[in-house]
Amino acid sequence: MKTKEEITDRAKRAREKRAALGEDVDIGQFETRTEEHETLGALSELGEEYTQDLLRAGIEPSEKDRSGSFLQRDRSVVFSKVHYPGLEIMSTTDALATYEWLTEYLWQLIPVDADKYTAEVELAASHGYFIRAKPGAKVTLPVQSCLFITADKVRQNVHNVVIAEENSELHIITGCSVSHSVTTALHLGVSEFYVKPGAKITFTMVHNWSSGMEVRPRSAVRVEDNGVFISNYILMTPVKSLQMFPTTYCVGRNARTTTQSIIYATQHANIDMGARGASGRGEQGGTHLSRDREG
145-182 confidence digits (pLDDT tens): 999 999 999 999 999 999 999 999 999 999 999 999 99
Distance CA 93, CA 109 (A): 19
- What integer pLDDT is reported at residue 294 of this predicted model? 42
Phi, psi of 92 (to 5 degrees): -60, -35
- How much is the average pLDDT of 25-29? 96
The two beta strands, 143-149 and 169-178, are parallel
* Distance from chain centroid for Cα 44: 22
Q: Which residue type sits at 233?
A: Y
The CB-side HSE value for 4 (13 A sphere, CA atoms) comes to 5
Please state, for a pLDDT cut of 90, what percent of the chain lies above it: 87
Taking Cα atoms as reference points, which of 219, 242, 2 lies closest to residue 121?
219
Do residues 53 and 104 lie in contact, with contact meaning Cβ atoms separated by under 8 Å?
no
Model pTM above 0.85: yes
Give Cα separations from 220 to 106, 162, 203 (angstroms): 11, 11, 12
Q: Share the mean pLDDT of the chain.
A: 93
Return the DSSP state at 51: H
Pairing of strands 76-82, 68-73: antiparallel
In the prediction, which pLDDT does 207 show?
97
pLDDT (tens digit per residue) in 51-98:
999 999 999 999 999 999 999 999 999 999 999 999 999 999 999 999
Confidence of residue 291 (pLDDT cuts 50, 70, 90): very low
| Residue 280: band (very low, low, confident or very high) from pLDDT cuts 50, 70, 90 | low
Burial 219-234 (b: 16+ CB within 10 A, else e): bbbbbbebbbbebebb
Banded pLDDT at 290 (limits 50, 70, 90): very low
| Residue 110: count of CB within 10 angstroms of its CB | 20
